[in-house]
Chains A and B, each alone.
Chain A
Amino acid sequence: MVKNITIFTTNTCAYCAMVKKYLGAKGLPYDVVNLDEQPERQAEALALSGAMTVPITVVTKQDDTRQVVIGYNLAKLAPAVA
């Protein structure tokens, strides 16, 4: 079971909109960290994913294990939030 979801985004990121659309369609709530508004959190996104890209979706499960999905990748995102 999913405990919470955080998406790292920017204002111009089309793939971020797709992740939000997918989670929205599944009825899953999520928090957004907009790196254009909070550039100080870039290092956090990079540390979590090892990638300098958005979207980064961090899925935390009830047992506090975490799964990080880089980009808009349904093959990884779908099982992560299942």
Chain B
Amino acid sequence: MTETKVHDVIMVGAGPAALAAAVYTTREDIETLLFERGVVGGLAAVTDMVDNYPGFPDGIEGLTLAENLRKQAERFGAVIELGEVTNIAKEGKLLKLETTSGDMLAKTVLIATGSDYKKIGVPGEQEYYARGVHYCATCDGAFYRDKRLVVVGGGNSAVQESLFLTRYATHIDLLVRSELRASEVLQHDLQKMVDAGKITVHLQTATNEIVGEDNHVVKVVGTDNASGKKIEFPADGVFVFVGLKPNTEFLKNSAIELDEIGLVKTNEDLETNITGVFAAGDVRSGSTMQIATATGEGATAALRIREYLEGHKQTS
């Protein structure tokens, strides 16, 4: 059933981009509804510590930053509905969103759905999911107190999460397919843990299989790319951080244009090829995938939405 109410703006996702946008739209008296299928605060909420968000000289816990963003948006009247948007389509001059709470109509839409963890696609990964194979250190790390872990990946997330996991694990083998791509600051912190014997970094090492016995993970089998030799890493658990994939599957039946990796294409006003539909944050093609830039894009999108609603662009 389609709700008859027409919302000024519906935001898909309630991560940093949408929450920042909502602060701006609601302060402009633009009625704002956000849909969130997971955690309010998005990936920022599941990040242990954020050290590079301006204004917090000592860093801020991701969960606290997310909570602050939520409170700020709600303070000015943003409404957050827990549910999922499954499609967006034009309905005359309006936009129709199919959601788990029924169909909704809006004058404008902001797509701010971010991205989710990629899988490596090796044997054992699916089988031991949540029973030895994990994608969220702040969620599942506590189960590995005094245990041995393997972390797969070589980017910022892999290194940052490995550092977090040292508070629980006795030792971590970090398997990096090619070279480390993490920032210098993170690599510096990583070196301290390497020197302390808590983390061993294995560069040029492919991950081939996650092996279990009696229903739990016992080792990871990898290959040294240079010699082609198989290597076994004993492990009680594996955390995978090999990059992100855009949350745009829900747009596959829509007319919204995506780039070759599935990110939403926009013009410089952050508007998509569909009039009245904007995108901001990690899901937008060309975004720089940081919390500060996501909130910045959210603010920009909100101002463009205001202009749109004021009638400047209602040509359709």
Contact = CB atoms under 8 A, between A and B. Distances in A.
Q: Do A and B come from one complex?
A: yes
Interface of A: 10, 12-15, 17-18, 21-22, 35-36, 39, 42, 46, 50-54, 70-72, 74
Contact of B142 (A18, A21, A54, A72): A54
B165 to A, nearest CB: 11
**Most chain B CB neighbours (cut-off 10 Å) among A13, A14, A21, A39:** A14
A1 B237 CA distance: 38
19 contacts: A10-B141, A10-B142, A12-B139, A13-B138, A14-B39, A14-B139, A15-B39, A15-B46, A17-B39, A18-B38, A18-B39, A18-B82, A35-B143, A42-B142, A46-B143, A51-B130, A52-B131, A52-B143, A52-B237
A14 B38 CA distance: 10
B305 interface: no
A25 to B, nearest CB: 8
Contacts of B139: 10, 12-15, 53-54
A40 to B, nearest CB: 10
Interface of B: 38-41, 45-46, 48, 61-63, 66-67, 82-83, 130-132, 134, 138-143, 145, 237
Contacts of A70: 130
Given A51-B131, A52-B130, A72-B38, A14 B142 contact: no
